[in-house]
Chains A and B, each alone.
Chain A
Amino acid sequence: MQPNSELYRASARPFEAILASDCPKSLMEAGLHRAAALTGANESYWWSELDDRPVQVTRLRILDGEAVLDTLVDGAELLCVENVVRKNPNALYWKHPHQGLHWHRVSAKNSPSHLVVLSDKPSLAESVQEQLQELLALIHLKESNLQSLENAEDQQRQFNRWFETMDSQIRVLERERQKLAGLVHKSDGGAAVLGSDLRFRWVNPVISENFGAKGNPASMIGSHCNAICESEDGPCERCPVKQVVETGKVVHQERTRQLAGEKRYFYVSAFPIRSPEGNVDEILTTVQDLTDLETLRKSEARYQTLFERSTDAILIADTQSLQILMANPQAQALMNLSESSLVETSLLDIHPEDARESMAGHYRNLAYGGKLNDLEMEVLGSDGTQLTCNASGTLFDLDEKRVIFVEYRDVTQIRKLQGELARADHLITLGTMNAGIAHEFKNRLAPLRAFAQLVTQDSTTLKRVQKFGPMIIREVDRLGALVRDVLDYARPQSPDPGLVAVNPLLAGLVEELGEEFLTTSGNSDVQIKTQFDIPDDLCVFLDAEQIRRAFINIFKNSFEALEKSEGSDPELLISCSEQNEQLVIAFHDNGTGIKDTDQSRVFDPFFTTKGTKGTGLGMCIVKSLVETNDGQIQIDSEWGKGTEVEMQFPICRHSARTAA
């Protein structure tokens, strides 16, 4: 609040002149006092004197003999010049004439609304007035300065608050920036920022490694975005960046392209970055190489297809419980398994009860790392019939769990047909053999008949009977042997195989047969040697009795060859070894050997080089026995040096436990 100041000056006439004659009684009664110093001839100034009333300045003038009263100031403070002291340039003190000797500092706060300077000394009054004006101006200035200062302080506080807010926002932004930078720099994926002109403004190392100059991301800046999407002439029609510029929306695309001679799959995403005005002026593009994923997806799909569409039944089972985990449609149909019943079904349940024990052995063997290759087994079919399946299995990891994978091929029909074929084949063989058999029989019977006729001749002699008797006995024996061998050959030869440990089997046979032949042949010079280079627990799957019969024939042939031979140190070496997953058993003698022309006929029925001693069926039977047991047999011989008969049988690996 700014106080007003007013200056009143009286005329030079003596104050007392008016007072005496002209003092209106009414003013006195109203409590006004005459300002003594300001009383002139024609006018006087009056002021109120009452403590509880504001100052009233009243002028009394005499105009044309009439007294006129003007209220000049109402409610002001009266200031007499002698009551004003200026103590320093900024402070003005005044003393209320009726309130004792208190000095009041004239300030914005405590200055009166009106200050009236009454004086009869014009120069002094003017000086006081001027000072007062100056002071009031100062005060005003100071107060406005103060106000400005306060305003400025307010503003600064405001600014400070803003700055603090901005600082924290900058810190947040910096953290976001660091996260983003980490993401785009260290990510496996490519990231690039492009301008709306589809040119690179920034690329991360992955982009430059894959699509630009290796190790020099800067060289890509300014180049066209078709560096990523492989098109020679500018942006392609599907250009995701272009779409973002045009639509302002995020675009995702799968792209393929040749890179370093390899087809690669990319997942490209483009995000708009808008200017403050809202235009898309930059595009953030991320590129993810999905090739490995795609390869995996395809290979998974392939395996899935193989699994689903395989013509073989496939079961996947737990290695411990043998519980079936998965069955392909073929398996579900073949073995009458439903998806819902798998949980309670074990691999053993698909087999007939009497086969389960041995199958458990096979499956456990597989679970412990053994093999299951082309194993023929009985399986319960969907309609309760027994099927013959050929199964192969392996181990693999499914969802971080080791599982058994077994493929079953239904060979029921094939085996049935093969059986029929084999029977037909056998019949054909028997048929063609019939001629040979008949010939042999007739050749044996001819002397019998001739002898019978001779001995019934009237003229026959005892000498004749004695001469031919033993020969006839021999012929009859040969007939017996022939009958036996023919029966042996014609006998159904379905083997009754089992797991057989080779070492004990061979050692036993060699001992038994060696002794027998050494004593019966009378050729006790023969040295029988063995050389077994196989582990003690090596097993084969065969019919031991059939193999024994085969070995007897081979032994017999070897001994006869050694007997006939005139060489010294007759020797029969029986060796066995392991070659290419096969058990190889060889009988090597240094006997007469076989003539080159005869070697190819060794296995033919009725082929014999032993004249009357052989039926020609021995080796034929041996071959048949060996082949029935999945074996193979060859003869290698040199005339005059000796013969080697070699047989191979498949080895049943890891089966020693079960066999033992």
Chain B
Amino acid sequence: MSKRILVIEDEPTMRLLLRDFFESVGYQVLDAPDGQTALDIADTEPFGLAFVDINLPDISGDQVMRRMRERGVSAELVVLSGNLRESYESKISDLRVHEVLEKPVDLLVLQE
């Protein structure tokens, strides 16, 4: 299960690149272009790690993570964001977020 990664990213190029990259390094990748799709996946598919974009067209990334936690998702959460604001930190401090990464992100860091 830890080999499954959920990529939640609305920018298609980035989503496809992340999927390609993680697959190339041996992960199984699920992806979602928006918050609702991500939640739907989380309800049905197990995954060990999720990369979450904060700026999503429908539901904001922190809300998506909060709902995942509410639904008992225990996977590691990594935030990928174009805008890093301190306010995010407080919003997600209780969500056991593994790491917050700012775009553009180093793929090797992701791999770690």
Contact = CB atoms under 8 A, between A and B. Distances in A.
Interface of A: 435, 438-443, 445-451, 453-454, 457, 459, 464, 467-468, 471-472, 474-475, 612
Most buried by B among A446, A453, A459, A475: A446
A446 B20 contact: no
Contacts of B1: none
Contacts of A467: 16, 20
Interface of B: 11-14, 16-18, 20-21, 24, 55, 80, 82-83, 102-108
Given A441-B82, A447-B13, A448-B104, 5 more contacts: A442-B82, A449-B105, A449-B106, A450-B21, A454-B17
Contacts of A435: 83
Contacts of B82: 438-443, 446
Contacts of B12: 471, 612
A459 to B, nearest CB: 7
A450 B105 contact: yes
Kindly list the 10 A-B residue pairs having the minimum CB-CB distance in the complex, ordered from nearest: A449-B104, A442-B82, A446-B104, A439-B82, A446-B103, A447-B13, A442-B103, A471-B13, A450-B17, A445-B104
A467 B104 CA distance: 20
B20 A464 contact: yes
Nearest to B102: A442
B14 A442 contact: no
A453 B108 contact: yes
Given A453-B106, A612-B11, A439 B17 contact: no
A612 B55 CA distance: 14
A443 B14 contact: yes
A457 B24 contact: yes
Contacts of A440: 82
Contacts of A439: 55, 82-83
Contacts of A446: 11, 14, 80, 82, 103-105
Contacts of B21: 450, 453-454
A474 B18 CA distance: 17
Contacts of B103: 442-443, 445-446
A449 B82 CA distance: 13
Contacts of B80: 446
A448 B55 CA distance: 18
B88 to A, nearest CB: 13
Given A442-B83, A446-B104, A450-B18, A459 B24 contact: yes
Nearest to B21: A454
A475 B17 CA distance: 13
B55 A447 contact: no
A468 B83 contact: no
A454 B20 contact: yes
Contacts of B13: 447, 468, 471-472, 474-475
Contact of A443 (B11, B106, B107): B11
